[in-house]
């Protein structure tokens, strides 16, 4: 029996006990080597749009000035302005104004992550990497789309059902200090997942805590220290130990070394690789350090303003990149050789707002290859191998489907 079947059986058993039907659980046939399949995932945040207040403030100040000379007229004006301010949003045509805007943090991404692989997610700050990762493991509720973990669409699960799946999906946050309870010791932080899921208790749980601390390079006496008593690298090790507590299959590494010194960073990266080899883990690795991503990741996804621009193996992205954004991003990586100079590509134009992105390609305002079709139609996928895809109207070559390479 496959892992997906065992998950479904557990969920069906729980539902039968509650007298519910399991038909609503959507599943998908997946390749054996694929552990996570993200299909057209979107996450929009609602932002209230306030009614225009500038002219009302000017009118109100004017009414106060009138009140200083003619009290009756001033009172009438003040009352009229207050009534209009609260009434106009409900009177045509002013009631046609949108009351809520949508910040499109993640706007239709598709990613396949194979078991035992490290998949990188890179892009500029604010492009939606962390939001995408949190939406994938359902720390954020998605607006639309599906996330199949071992064949099960986790977005359709109830909170109780999701609790069973969540043991297998964990995250290491970018800022370990902000993600650790400052009032709890390292022992209490690591033991909490055991208590929540009923995995272990008492002496067995404490023994597992000490084992996890050893696995991440911390000593037994560290178990009774508080987060503020650790260094930055030690706090990150503690965060990794907490993520490993339930023996997950998939871990999101959200810029786990961005806040650390270079020497400490190397030690944490070595730890991440050792744990992957020892436990057979699968990582989604988010980072800004492209030189690190090139060495560490098997596959790389390049993200811009909530969309994937290009995806492929590490060699394909760094040696045979096709998308103009990917080329500009990689050109910014410094070369550790004083005798060589990299030819940097400087992008001009403004970054669109994710609240009101332009139609068509989101990169059109900065793209050196932009054409009229880019301003109207969303870019199509062009496949350069079974794993290498770029989304652009104006790059040469490629095929419309990866199936071309299986013929």
Contact 256, 272 (CB under 8 A): yes
Would 186 be classed as within a structural domain? Answer: yes
Number of compact structural domains in the chain: 2
Q: Of 300, 328, 351, at which residue does a domain stop?
A: 300
Do the domain assignments include residue 265?
A: yes
Shared domain check, 174 and 206:
yes
Radius of gyration of the chain (CA): 26
159 inside domain: yes
DSSP label of 256: T
Give the integer Cα–Cα distance in Å for 317 and 322: 8
Which residues are CB-neighbours of 282 under 8 A, at least 6 positions away? Answer: 35, 36, 113, 114, 115, 116, 117, 118, 119, 249, 250, 251
**144 and 33 in a common domain:** yes
Alpha helices in 351-407 (DSSP H): none
According to DSSP, the residues that pair with 45 across neighbouring strands are 103
Tell me if 359 is assigned to some domain.
no
Question: Do residues 245 and 285 share a domain?
Answer: yes
CB 223 within 8 A of CB 205: no
Between the alpha carbon of residue 345 and those of residues 35, 139, 305, 361, the distances in Å are 36, 36, 19, 20
Angle of helix 186-197 relative to helix 202-215, nearest 10 degrees, comes to 120
- The model carries a pTM of 0.84
Note the pLDDT of residue 340. Answer: 75
Same domain flag for 157 and 78: no
* Cα–Cα dist 263/242, whole Å: 23
* Sign of the alpha-carbon dihedral angle for 255, 256, 262, 265: negative
Residues 172 and 216 in one domain: yes
Contact criterion met (CB below 8 Å) for 312 and 322: no
User: Domain for residue 157, yes or no?
Assistant: yes
73 to 54, 56, 66, 86, 326: CA distances (angstroms): 22, 17, 7, 20, 64
pLDDT for the residue 47? 82
User: How far apart (Å, rounded) are the C-alpha atoms in residues 155 and 138?
Assistant: 7
Q: What is the pLDDT along the chain (407 residues), one digit of tens a residue?
A: 555 556 667 766 666 666 665 567 778 888 878 999 999 999 999 887 666 677 778 888 888 888 888 888 888 888 888 888 778 777 777 666 666 788 999 999 999 999 999 999 999 998 999 999 999 999 999 999 999 998 889 998 888 889 888 989 999 998 888 889 999 999 999 999 999 988 888 889 999 999 999 999 999 999 999 999 999 889 999 999 999 999 999 999 999 988 788 888 888 999 999 999 999 999 999 998 898 999 999 999 999 999 999 999 999 999 999 999 999 999 888 777 777 777 888 888 888 888 888 899 999 999 999 999 999 999 989 999 999 999 999 998 888 887 767 66
Nearest Cα neighbor of 325 from 359, 349, 298, 289 is 349
- Statement to judge: residues 58 and 159 lie in one domain: no
Predicted local confidence at residue 194, as pLDDT: 92
Using the 3D structure, point to which of 273, 300, 327 is the last residue of a domain.
Answer: 300
Neighbouring residues of 17: CB distance < 8 A, sequence distance ≥ 6: none
Distance CA 30, CA 115 (A): 12
In a domain, 171, yes or no: yes
Helix (H) or strand (E) holding 114: strand 100-114
Residue 344 lies in a domain: no
Same domain, yes or no: 228 and 93: no
274 & 216 share domain? yes
- Kindly report whether the peptide bond that precedes residue 93 is cis, defined as omega within 30 degrees of 0: yes
* Boundary of a domain, candidates 259, 274, 300: 300
Contacts (Cβ under 8 Å, ≥6 apart) of 74? 63, 64, 66, 67, 68
Specify whether 240 is located in the same domain as 259.
Answer: yes
Both 134 and 253 in a single domain? yes
Domain of 136: which CATH number?
3.40.50.300
Domain that holds residue 236: 3-46+112-300
Neighbouring C-beta atoms of residue 360, cutoff 10 Å: 17
288 & 171 share domain: yes
pLDDT value for 375: 93
Residue 349 covered by a domain: no
Q: What is the pLDDT of residue 99?
A: 65
Q: What is the pLDDT of residue 138?
A: 94
- Can you tell me the distance from the alpha carbon of 2 to that of 32, in angstroms, rounded to the nearest whole number? 9
Q: CA separation (Å) from 201 to 150, 170, 205, 209, 245?
A: 29, 21, 5, 11, 13
Q: Cα(103)–Cα(174) distance, rounded to whole angstroms?
A: 22
Same domain, 42 and 55: no
């Amino acid at each position: 029996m496959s892992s997906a079947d065992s998950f479904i059986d557990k969920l069906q058993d729980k539902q039968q006990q509650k007298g519910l039907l399991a038909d609503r659980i959507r599943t998908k046939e997946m390749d054996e080597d694929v552990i996570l399949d993200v299909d057209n995932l979107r996450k929009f945040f609602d932002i209230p749009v306030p009614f225009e207040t500038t002219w009302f403030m000017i009118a109100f100040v004017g009414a106060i000035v009138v009140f200083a000379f003619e009290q009756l007229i001033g009172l009438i004006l003040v009352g009229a302005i207050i009534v209009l301010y609260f009434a106009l949003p409900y009177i045509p045509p002013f009631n046609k104004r949108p009351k809520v805007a949508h910040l499109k943090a993640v706007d239709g991404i598709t990613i396949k992550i194979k078991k035992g692989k490290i998949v990188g997610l890179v892009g500029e700050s604010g492009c939606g990497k962390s939001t995408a990762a949190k939406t994938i493991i359902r720390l954020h509720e998605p607006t639309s789309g599906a996330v199949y973990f071992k064949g099960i669409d986790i977005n359709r699960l109830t909170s109780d059902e999701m609790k069973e799946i969540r043991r297998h999906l964990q995250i290491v946050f970018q800022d370990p200090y902000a993600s650790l309870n400052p009032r709890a010791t390292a022992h209490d932080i690591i033991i909490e997942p055991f208590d929540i899921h009923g995995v272990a208790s008492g002496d067995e749980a404490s023994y597992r805590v000490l084992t996890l601390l050893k696995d991440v390079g911390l000593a037994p006496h560290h178990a009774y220290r508080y987060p503020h008593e650790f260094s930055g690298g030690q706090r990150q090790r503690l965060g990794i130990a907490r993520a490993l507590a339930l023996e997950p299959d998939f871990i999101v590494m959200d810029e786990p070394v961005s806040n650390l010194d270079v020497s400490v960073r190397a030690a944490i990266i070595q730890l991440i690789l050792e744990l992957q080899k020892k436990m057979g883990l699968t990582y989604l690795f988010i980072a800004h350090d492209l030189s690190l991503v090139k060495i560490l990741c098997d596959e790389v996804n390049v993200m811009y303003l909530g969309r994937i621009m290009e995806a492929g193996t590490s060699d394909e992205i760094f040696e045979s990149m096709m998308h103009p954004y990917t080329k500009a991003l990689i050109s910014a990586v410094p070369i550790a050789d004083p005798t060589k100079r990299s030819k940097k590509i400087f992008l001009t134009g403004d970054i669109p707002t994710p609240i009101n992105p332009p139609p068509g390609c989101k990169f059109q305002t900065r793209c050196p290859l932009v054409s009229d079709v880019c301003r109207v139609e969303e870019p199509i996928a062009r496949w350069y191998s079974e794993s290498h895809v770029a989304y652009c109207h104006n790059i040469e070559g490629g095929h419309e489907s990866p199936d071309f390479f299986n013929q």
